Structure 1
Amino acid sequence: MAFSKDEVNAFYAALKKSNPNPETELNHSNPYTLLVAVVLSAQATDKGVNKATEALFKIADTPEKMVKLGEEKLSDHIKTIGLYKGKAKNVIALSKLLIAKHGGKVPENREALEELPGVGRKSANVVLNVCFGHKTIAVDTHIFRVANRTGLAPGKDVREVEDGLMAVTPDKYLLNAHHWLILHGRYTCVARLPKCPVCVVRDLCRFEDKTVPPPVKPVKTSGKLISRAKR
């Protein structure tokens, strides 16, 4: 059964209450470093990307500096990240294109962003949302799972889920919806064993196989059995 408008409002209100000011977990200092971090984050964790870019962004936080650093040295910085060789090639290529076509600036335009090597719709949505305040939703594996599992906006592919979320999400929540949903999927509505007992939208969620708290095991003390809950 589809969510009603009141249920959708309650869903986002609960997420907002638990995290009033959500932010991306990718470390960055400007639109360019966020763009690079997003490209590096494909099939990698934000934690892993942040570890690799900590030193990198101290010496290469603009397209010009990145091109000067070069693909080989960039690869050395990001070799702990999966697919790092291809990503290094894309980062250098997109940096050159930013210099050649956009004066070294990250464009506030979806089409221009998606022309950059290694940048697809999801990555463009992140940059537009975080750097320029556009009301976009970047659907990754976490958001795809949350949207389908909860029943908020089910879909067969990421674009269908994105369109569904854009359609049902109230305007007042659109700016931060991406962050709330991804963080909820990353830390609560996890893939293998969702943390339903502590979920703030548990009562609204349509997931039938909700997990339950582990049983309280009795503990023997002074010849008597007492539950751990009473200790």
Structure 2
Amino acid sequence: MPDPKLKSVRKTLQNSKANTRRRAVPVRTAYSQAEREEIFRRFSIQRPEPRGELAHTNPFTLVVAVALSAQATDAGVNKATRALFKVADTPQKMLALGEERLRDYIRTIGLYRNKAKNVMALSQMLVDEFGGEVPNKREELVRLPGVGRKTANVVLSMAFGQATMAVDTHIFRIANRIKLAPGKTPDEVEDRLMKVIPGHYLYHAHHWLILHGRYTCKARRPECERCVIADLCKSPEKSCDVPAPLVELPPQVIGEAVE
């Protein structure tokens, strides 16, 4: 006769596995593997070495720039940090600068008072807990004040060369608009993109998607006539089926770059 306790344990394990399967984010995309390969092959030809457009000089200035960029444009942040990073490019120098003087440098950026508090707090934590160095692990980065998962992913990619997917408004819009990796939340989109993007294209993928959303697949009106994947795109908003010529774009110029 089967042991009732053993039977109960087995049932509990089965229920646990079933719940785990239900919680997992399913792979969802409107594109075949071959189509996804072709999409990112074209992006790789168009922009062989895509770059983020926030000017920075080291991992610390990158963390600060990304934290300041929330609800602000990269160009606006670059304009404000051009002078700031010349005098405060380490946590120690930022603390010596002080919150009041920091506010003077970034007052043209939205929510600058709260952002100044976060920059000072994250600088203090970097000094106190990380020896003044920016950590290269996501779970440590997100502990820093003003640093969320998106910021952490940007830093891991741009400062430490890790393949991550920083889902900003552009990527969230594109993933849903063209049905590449639809999701209701940035976390869902991130998880699905990491699964559907071919591995050998993953490192540059978030920059390709951001730049595509910023300059071609725009929020108000996608410029389908300038899109190199117009023939592959499955968006119901698409206005053109003829792809733009597949040529390498001129090198990016980061506006107001730090000298």
TM-score calculated relative to the size of structure 1: 0.90
Per-residue CA deviation, residues 128-182 of structure 1 (Å, 9 max, x unaligned), is 0111111100000000011111111111110000001000011111110110000
Per-residue CA deviation, residues 201-222 of structure 1 (Å, 9 max, x unaligned), is 111111122235xxxxxxxxxx
Give the paired residue count: 213
* Partners of 2:98 and 2:120 within 8 A in 1: yes
Q: Which runs of 5+ in 1 are unaligned?
A: 213-231
Q: Which has the higher contact order (CA 8 A, sep 6+)?
A: 2
Q: Which runs of 5+ in 2 are unaligned?
A: 1-28, 241-259
- Percent of residue pairs bearing the same amino acid type: 61
> Residue 97 of structure 1 corresponds to which residue in structure 2?
125
1:187: Cα distance to partner?
A: 0.5
> Residue 165 of structure 1 corresponds to which residue in structure 2?
193
> Residue 12 of structure 2 corresponds to which residue in structure 1?
none
Aligned equivalents of 1:24, 1:2: Cα separation in 2: 27
Aligned equivalents of 2:214, 2:44: Cα separation in 1: 16
* Partners of 1:189 and 1:196 within 8 A in 2: yes
* Partners of 2:65 and 2:77 within 8 A in 1: yes
Alignment of structure 1 residues 51-90 onto 2, 5 Å:
51-90=79-118
Question: Is 2:38 aligned against 1:17?
Answer: no
Aligned equivalents of 1:15, 1:99: Cα separation in 2: 40
* Partners of 2:54 and 2:62 within 8 A in 1: yes
1:96: Cα distance to partner?
A: 0.3
Letter in structure 1 aligned against 2:188: E
* Partners of 2:103 and 2:116 within 8 A in 1: yes
Letter in structure 2 aligned against 1:70: G
Letter in structure 1 aligned against 2:64: V
Aligned equivalents of 2:97, 2:234: Cα separation in 1: 50
Aligned equivalents of 1:3, 1:104: Cα separation in 2: 45
SS at match of 1:208: coil
> Residue 177 of structure 2 corresponds to which residue in structure 1?
149
Aligned equivalents of 1:84, 1:63: Cα separation in 2: 18
Letter in structure 2 aligned against 1:185: G
> Residue 226 of structure 2 corresponds to which residue in structure 1?
198
> Residue 21 of structure 2 corresponds to which residue in structure 1?
none
RMSD: 1.1
> Residue 123 of structure 1 corresponds to which residue in structure 2?
151
Letter in structure 1 aligned against 2:217: C
TM-score calculated relative to the size of structure 2: 0.81
SS at match of 1:200: coil
Per-residue CA deviation, residues 54-86 of structure 1 (Å, 9 max, x unaligned), is 000000000000000011110110000000000
Aligned equivalents of 1:23, 1:56: Cα separation in 2: 22
* Partners of 1:39 and 1:123 within 8 A in 2: yes
> Residue 180 of structure 1 corresponds to which residue in structure 2?
208
